[in-house]
A and B are shown apart, each in its own frame.
Chain A
């Protein structure tokens, strides 16, 4: 295991009776990464997080956190876990709850006051420490849940659907908070909300039906680059020329059907395979065919497109 891989998951399987929730998932997370786990509801995200945090046992495969098997209780010291919907003791005051959590997480008695004060300051909880948890707004509940995860200063933070059921302001606040917490820590965030994951994570893994479709959706995007081009010329001829270039997978006119109008300056979207100098080859082909090339811009990988592509391919593979 390379030293920097703080989470190593190998051939992880989780069965609930006859139902298989996680099917042989393997991935690694390097220290300091912010990794997003994206997938529809029921894709196995929460199950993987619960195994990682030691709440669930795996049916087979292995999970190591900081080199320690998660079956070993010591691994729990490495992870701060914020479960979905912040399940907390509503009858406790926020401050009492944090002191209780500090004690069961092994924070020494003399350091508890400072640890609680520190997380309260970090999460802006000073105003609510005296209130019962059950009386707090969803946003503050989530902050208390995050605060308890930080008490023993773990190197890994795990969030399950951290912005679930929050209003727009709370979502922005929690998102900023997670980003600010990342710093020296490794962060793993699971969500079914594509735009949320995109805004938080530096690497995105996509899950579907318990299978890991990709351990890095961003590189998946860079493997299938796309270009936006403005070209003057007869559409059918331009498209035929583009499609002849080696490595071009798709070529379409943006916004109109290719047969709709006659010659004009149009915007074309070209999807290609990943290979060196593909952009130059396309540009040369357009010019060689006698068309005027006004613009050629590489498109940023679009997570939505990658997600749809990967899930479509997975469905096709299943059908096949």
Chain B
């Protein structure tokens, strides 16, 4: 356990001492603030649905930047040799990197909560959809970080890892369009692979176990492949 805590602390330090975390946070807050203010003035409705969809898009674009270096950089710099010749399991290495990156997602969500508090000050928002939206964003963030970690574990070039993640995210965003072209039962398969199809109910205040199960499955699959990629050497 002490080894895992040390590993997690090291990953947190690596993330929060790099400029990447602060650039991502700053960009996130500026764009969110702009969207929130604009939406509030245009609609005069105390809701965060638009904001959640905007965060969904921003996560697709920023998570590859957060996760690209996780394993690819360690592989390129050969620090992975130091890590994996210590009595540590691949599972603990992957979990520590996953949790550290997820913590940045949590920080982003916590900071965005100020918009919900602003709504509470200005009006009487419906808190149900706000909480379900945050649960959805957390699950979405976990799934994206796991996929990003997976691509980072497969290559030693950070840029390629980021491009691979971004491509996968965009594909999973629009894959349901393919479903609309296919006959039953193939259409359901592709529609149900879509990130947006499973995220939209959370953003609008509907909680379905199947949607949570989708994000958890993607997260576990990403982590499993990352562990296997790290063990395959």
Residues of chain A having any CB pair with chain B under 8 Å? 50, 53-57, 73-74, 76-77, 79, 81, 83, 85, 87-89, 91-92, 100-101, 103-106, 108-109, 148
Q: Chain A CB within 10 Å — which of B5, B77, B86 has the most?
A: B86
- CB–CB A55/B85 < 8 A: yes
* B156-181 residues at the A interface, CB under 8 angstroms: none
Smallest CB-CB separation from B9: which chain A residue?
Answer: A100
* B61-92 residues at the A interface, CB under 8 angstroms: 77-79, 81-89
A73 surroundings in chain B (CB, below 8 A): 87, 89
Q: Mark B9-20, 1 if CB is under 8 A from A, else 0.
A: 110011001100
A105 surroundings in chain B (CB, below 8 A): 3, 86-87
CB distance from A165 to the nearest CB of B (A): 14
- CB–CB A81/B85 < 8 A: yes
CB distance from A197 to the nearest CB of B (A): 22
- CB–CB A83/B7 < 8 A: no
10 pairs of A and B residues whose beta carbons are closest in the complex: A103-B6, A87-B78, A53-B85, A76-B87, A104-B3, A81-B85, A104-B86, A83-B81, A87-B79, A55-B85
A56 vs B18: C-alpha distance when bound (angstroms)? 30
- CB–CB B88/A104 < 8 A: yes
A100 surroundings in chain B (CB, below 8 A): 6, 9-10
Q: Mark B78-114, 1 if CB is under 8 A from A, else 0.
A: 1101111111110000000000000000000000000
A106 vs B1: C-alpha distance when bound (angstroms)? 9
A-B pair count, CB < 8 Å, reads 67
A91 vs B17: C-alpha distance when bound (angstroms)? 8
A56 surroundings in chain B (CB, below 8 A): 233
- CB–CB B233/A101 < 8 A: no
Q: Which listed residue, A50, A92, A104, touches B83 by the CB 8 Å rule?
A: A104
Residues of chain B having any CB pair with chain A under 8 Å? 2-3, 5-7, 9-10, 13-14, 17-18, 77-79, 81-89, 233
CB distance from A35 to the nearest CB of B (A): 19
Smallest CB-CB separation from A151: which chain B residue?
Answer: B86
CB distance from A128 to the nearest CB of B (A): 18
Smallest CB-CB separation from B86: which chain A residue?
Answer: A104
- CB–CB B3/A148 < 8 A: no
B10 surroundings in chain A (CB, below 8 A): 89, 92, 100
A92 surroundings in chain B (CB, below 8 A): 10, 13
Chain A to chain B contacts (Cβ below 8 Å), 6 pairs: A57-B233, A79-B85, A87-B78, A100-B10, A104-B7, A108-B2
A81 vs B78: C-alpha distance when bound (angstroms)? 13
Smallest CB-CB separation from B6: which chain A residue?
Answer: A103
